[in-house]
Structure 1
Amino acid sequence: MTSRLALWGAGLACAVAVAAAGVWALNRLDEAPLPAQDAPVSSAPETIARGEYLARAGNCISCHTSPGGAAFAGGRAIDTPFGSIYASNLTPHDATGIGRWTSSEFWRALHNGRSRDGRLLYPAFPYPNYTRVTREDSDAIFSYLRSLAPVEQPSPAHALRFPYNTQAALAVWRALFFRPGVLDAQPGQTDEWNRGAYLVQGLGHCAACHTPRNALGATREGAAFQGGLMPVQNWYAPALNSAREAGLAAWPLEDAVALLKTGVSPRAAVSGPMAEVVFRSLQYLSEEDLRAMATYLRGLPQAQDAPLPVARPSQKVMERGEQVYAQHCAQCHGRQGEGSAGAFPALAGNRAVEMPETVNLVRVLLQGGYLPATQGNPRPHGMPPFMHSLGDEDMAAVLSYIRAAWGNQGSRVDTIDVHRGRERRGH
């Protein structure tokens, strides 16, 4: 019996060793040794300007700037289902920033998700998308960051639960869900489409939000752009390949470009996290790059949206919702939900209103809805919050009414949906 146990223990130890070796090998894929000496960082004005533009395209400033803090000095908490991760300092401070980094170490962080000291980075930093960024673009971004004024600001320690706070857990995650790679141009597509694919899949990291994730936080394989719920932020990033949600295939190219550039178009407006993306990133991109992104997004294979069962609100709920709407909403959105062109969006026939997922509607009603201020729309109209003036039943009723009135085909919203949104409003 003792010998059997010894053999079993030895076999288990061997299996663990083999598994660990396999995890280690998978985590070293495509990682060439860092050069002993890097080429000097370019300080040419045109390289720095290009790097600034690319950093805008990647929206680096949003995560790496704490509220009220110095730009790119880090410290902002990125909340995840596993705890909070704090963004690092990207200014060239020697002790607390990237002042001692080389361009190859920076490239390795983007391409392989590994820090200067060799530690594995958390995928809240979207290296699964940034792995597609070219070395040339990485070097330009690094040159721009090195041109900034150094800011002495240490990054707070991450606040993650065990085992998610361990390098071993990260190594297993990466072995399961990450492979470094590049984005090869598709010969059957135009240069514009290929540029759009590079921006959307790489620096833009659009799939990071607009793709569903599994229980371990990895984007689901084969489900890119099919819509994703951001559980801690409590926003739903709608599917970009669905005419029922946020697909652009049927849109004129100019309308799609306008939405990315200004946050508004004749067909839709942005809110929530997407408003920040437009405000901090997309409005600064060139017309050519925005057209390329829109061209790529319009060309995504479209999902075949099957009809959904619709739980219609009762007559009593509709009557109550109509009363609330007339008192609080009709002045801006019109008695028939027709909206006001250039000011307030129409609610009749609005696919954001009819989407099966209602978390965004609840969030906007509770906390207000605000468009980004952009050069093309410098003084946007906003919607005030109603969390203190309307109770859960009135909110559920008015949302149910809006989703079912004027020919809209959305399901009812229940009070529990509002209650849950109210509980999570602080995130």
Structure 2
Amino acid sequence: MAEPTSTEAKPTRAYVIHPDLGTARTQRREPEHALAEAVALAHALPGIDIVGEEVARLRDPNPGMLFGKGKLAEIGTRLTAVEAELVLIDGPVTPVQQRNLEKDWGVKLLDRTGLILEIFADRARTREGVLQVELAALSYQRTRLVRAWTHLERQRGGLGFVGGPGETQIEADRRAIDEQMTRLRHQLERVVKTRTLHRAARAKVPYPIVALVGYTNAGKSTLFNRMTGAEVMAKDMLFATLDPTMRAIRLPDARGGASGRKIILSDTVGFISDLPTELVAAFRATLEEVLEADLILHVRDISHPETEEQAADVAEILDSLGVDEDVELIEVWNKIDALSPDMRAALRRTDARTEGVQAVSALSGEGLEDLVAAIDAHLSRALDEPREAAVLRLDFSDGRRRAWLHEAGVVEREEAGEDGLTLHLRWTARQKAGFEALDQPDA
């Protein structure tokens, strides 16, 4: 294999450690599976070469070093042997622990929060996504300012009531971060306001919103692309999609035509266990589409050994977001193509007799027709409200509103008179509200 040229960045040699705290943490996840997810996270970061990985079992975390002396030396020997430059700890690491571990091992160190922030920073594309990542990163960085004390030692004079130069620098850094966070929040407020205006504009379109949610790498973007014909980044990689993507599509009818119900399909960032609290707060606006959804498709990687645990994590996040329990939800058991033929057939039989479950392969298209039919049926139950008759008169020049009514499918009869058009309608309260919103100014 050719050596990297001088213009190519040399990959960073990284070693991944999952600290298994045993009874000190939830037993919902097997440590080996947690390590595999941590390695997948590391692979999602560009310029990383994984040179080693391990589960480090801990009875009691050491407050200053995380690991005990024996484990510390044992890991240090392995890091030296593989010439690791970066250690990724799959869990929280305090600023003091990070400082001490970096000094002892002679490497750079990132904990789970820092790693996810790095990935999000690399993936953010929209203005809102970039601002949210910057805000979350500053919030995280603010808690690490204790690292600046490493040069301080005993520089404080007098009785210690007045801070020395080290303390002054920390306060200056903290103040600078606070000022930058304030600026970012103001910029984010303006972006979110713009999104609110866009949502108001979409409210004039009487189409239901169907939101795809699920654990990261469950196949949401592949399903989104297959249903919409879009080209959203879809890779076998954690957090391949960061920013929300929306498309208005018309569901195919039973014969594969395009005369079915029109919907807005929304792809969202993947969920993950132990999502950093900074990111939960920062990305709440990104997930607002889920809060406004008329139907949620919970996409699960049914071939994953911990699909049930991942589903539980998604349910917890949806609950924390305040998603209404009355919102219709379909569990989409994706990636059945990765299962044996017998298991695949068994799942298809299960979904046929289980309400709210659809087994599919977004990759091959198997089960997609049944999923579309289920989406239509759920929306019919959720949205097909009682319709009332109405008569509306429009000027001949009012082509915009007339086109809207016909597009919404609410016109039963239209008559032309000398002074305009008379339309006989049958519409729902939602459709009536959408029509009336046409008179409001656009974003």
TM-score tier after normalising by the smaller chain length: under 0.3
Question: What is the TM-score normalised by the length of structure 2?
Answer: 0.23
TM-score for both structures, normalised by structure 1? 0.24
Higher strand share: 2
